[in-house]
Amino acid sequence: MKFARNAQSLDASYIREILSAANQPEMISMAGGLPASSLLPVQLIRATCESLADNHHLFQYGSSQGYEPLIDTMKQQSQHSDKPWLICNGSQQALDLIARALLEAGDNIVAEVPAYLGALQVFQLTGATICPLNSDTAGPDLNQLEDYFKHHNVKLFYCVPDFHNPTGRVWPRETRIAVAQLCRDYDVTLIEDAPYRELRFAGEQLGYVSDLCPEISIRLTSFSKIGFPGLRVGAMNGPTAFITIAERIKQATDLHTGIPQQAIIHALLNHAEFEQHLTRLRRGYQERYQCLSRELTQQLGDQIQFDTVEGGMFVWLKLTQGDSAEIAARALQHNLAVVPGAAFYPTDTALENHALRLNFSNTDPALFPEAVARLAKAL
Ligand SMILES: Cc1ncc(COP(=O)(O)O)c(C=O)c1O
């Protein structure tokens, strides 16, 4: 079989390999980006699931744009935008549709690095070149961003301004305004990926960057982190001309996202106790984060450094010495799964090999003392 060149360039995901090791019984896994199984809102969808079989219409073919009641809910919730919605198989499919609609081999795109691996892979599959953008707690380096926009004919800028994966960072308000302005000035499409936004457990919620430049932005929403990742439902919102093309591509790809799972997400979002569920989820993650952060400070002291996070699922742990890939491999031998920083960089990019991504949402808080003790052994 002769594989396409771009398909061959896709490496087996390092994270997938770690996750398969993470299933062993003695392992404590802080590797995946999984929500807490114990906090999945199954009680809120029980009645809907039980009555699914009585609703034959949910099992017919449906519209490519999505299940109408769910689209109506999305419209009601996006008060600042009258742009159309497209329901997708997770926000991961939205990334794929964006790549197919906008990118051609040789195009330049900008992404903050480190970056969400799934986005890098989708963009790399098109043959686009990723211009790596440095960022810190104040958000992306604006001079570097403008330099890319000015000199590299950039087609799109992919970003995760709220509780970034893997760093957990949030862009401050001034950065949001400046980035929106730059995208406008240079006519670059902004892709705002916001799966963790609702998981804020401290600090102040800031506005969407895409609301500051609506005519050139696309926003991605996921129901995986506040609902159920296994249902594979997400959504994107963008200018009409873009959503029209993306819907046609979706139709050619898979006709539409499964209706029963869209009906379940619709029921979840409209459940009288949905807000209470979000509050419980945020509290649960805050407790996990505080517990992890306390153990890291007490047990590892000056061997590590990390910035406080106000939500999301991740801590980006900087090691004062040692190679993080080696330490992650050693941690696996001590039955602890974590992801080394190098996994979050595009190929051929200078990378951070002194950082680890720790997920805190999917670990029982009682296990953090032992998890950090195992990391201490690996260090
Ligand atoms: C930043 C980011 N975008 C998109 C996704 C994909 O999420 P979904 O389950 O909605 O496809 C993830 C998953 O972890 C993510 O971290």
Residue with CA at minimum distance from ligand 1 atom 13: 33
**Closest ligand 1 atom to the C-alpha of 89?**
11
Amino acid letter for position 330: R
pLDDT at position 373 is 98
CA separation for the pair 71, 53 (Å, rounded): 22
CB 13 within 8 Å of CB 117: yes
318-329 pLDDT per residue, tens: 999 889 999 999
Buried b (16+ CB within 10 A) or exposed e, 306-334: beebbbbbbbbbebeeeebbebbebbbeb
Q: From the CB of residue 45, how many other CB atoms can be counted at a distance below 10 Å?
A: 21
pLDDT at position 201 is 98
Beta bridge partners of 332: none
pLDDT at position 1 is 87
Beta-sheet pairing, 304-305 with 314-319: antiparallel
| Rounded mean pLDDT, 190-209 | 97
pLDDT at position 82 is 85
CA separation for the pair 90, 253 (Å, rounded): 14
Query: In terms of Cα–Cα distance, which of 92, 176, 108, 181 is closest to 139?
Result: 176
**Token pair for residue 282?**
């945020």
pLDDT at position 293 is 98
Phi, psi (rounded to 5 degrees) for 299: -90, -30
| Rounded mean pLDDT, 95-108 | 97
**Token pair for residue 335?**
């039955």
pLDDT-based confidence at residue 6 (cuts at 50, 70, 90): confident
> What whole-number percentage of the chain has pLDDT above 90?
86
pLDDT at 356 over 70: yes
Domains along the chain?
Answer: 5-40+275-378 (3.90.1150.10), 55-269 (3.40.640.10)
295-322 pLDDT per residue, tens: 999 999 999 999 999 999 999 999 998 8
Which residue among 19, 91, 357 is best mutated to probe the pocket of ligand 1, counting the most ligand atoms within 8 A of its Cβ? 91
Q: Output the CA 234–ligand 1 centroid distance in Å.
A: 9
CB 126 within 8 Å of CB 165: no
The verdict on the CB of residue 91 being under 6 Å from ligand 1 is yes
Collapsed DSSP state (helix, strand, coil) of residue 188: coil
The verdict on the CB of residue 116 being under 6 Å from ligand 1 is yes
CB-based contacts of 196, cutoff 8 Å, min separation 6: 160, 162, 163, 164, 165, 225, 311, 312, 313
The verdict on the CB of residue 161 being under 6 Å from ligand 1 is no
CA separation for the pair 112, 220 (Å, rounded): 17
- Reported as type and span, the H/E element at residue 305 is strand 304-305
Distance of CA 191 to the CA centre of its chain: 12
CB 189 within 8 Å of CB 158: no
CA separation for the pair 316, 312 (Å, rounded): 12
CB 369 within 8 Å of CB 40: no
The verdict on the CB of residue 214 being under 6 Å from ligand 1 is no
Q: From the CB of residue 152, how many other CB atoms can be counted at a distance below 10 Å?
A: 13
CA separation for the pair 157, 100 (Å, rounded): 15
pLDDT-based confidence at residue 347 (cuts at 50, 70, 90): confident
> Which range is least confidently modeled, 103-117, 182-196, 349-363?
349-363
- Reported as type and span, the H/E element at residue 19 is helix 14-21
Which residue among 222, 228, 359 is best mutated to probe the pocket of ligand 1, counting the most ligand atoms within 8 A of its Cβ? 222
What's the chain's average pLDDT? 94
Query: Across the chain, which distance is largest between two alpha carbons, in Å?
Result: 60
Phi, psi (rounded to 5 degrees) for 318: -95, 135
pLDDT-based confidence at residue 24 (cuts at 50, 70, 90): confident
The verdict on the CB of residue 160 being under 6 Å from ligand 1 is yes
CB 335 within 8 Å of CB 1: no
The verdict on the CB of residue 229 being under 6 Å from ligand 1 is yes
The verdict on the CB of residue 195 being under 6 Å from ligand 1 is yes
The verdict on the CB of residue 193 being under 6 Å from ligand 1 is yes
**Torsion, CA 236, CA 239, CA 245, CA 251, rounded to 10:** 30
> Is the whole-model pTM more than 0.85?
yes
pLDDT at position 25 is 83
**Closest ligand 1 atom to the C-alpha of 229?**
9
How many residues make up the chain in this entry?
Answer: 379
Phi, psi (rounded to 5 degrees) for 35: -70, 165
**Closest ligand 1 atom to the C-alpha of 93?**
11
Q: Output the CA 303–ligand 1 centroid distance in Å.
A: 31
127-155 pLDDT per residue, tens: 999 999 999 988 999 999 999 999 999 99
CA separation for the pair 51, 60 (Å, rounded): 16
pLDDT at 60 over 90: yes
The verdict on the CB of residue 114 being under 6 Å from ligand 1 is no
217-275 pLDDT per residue, tens: 999 999 999 999 999 999 999 999 999 999 999 999 999 999 999 999 999 999 999 99
**Closest ligand 1 atom to the C-alpha of 234?**
10
Q: C-alpha distances in angstroms, 125 versus 68, 130, 169, 193, 341?
A: 32, 11, 27, 19, 21
pLDDT at position 13 is 63
pLDDT-based confidence at residue 14 (cuts at 50, 70, 90): low
CB 218 within 8 Å of CB 189: yes
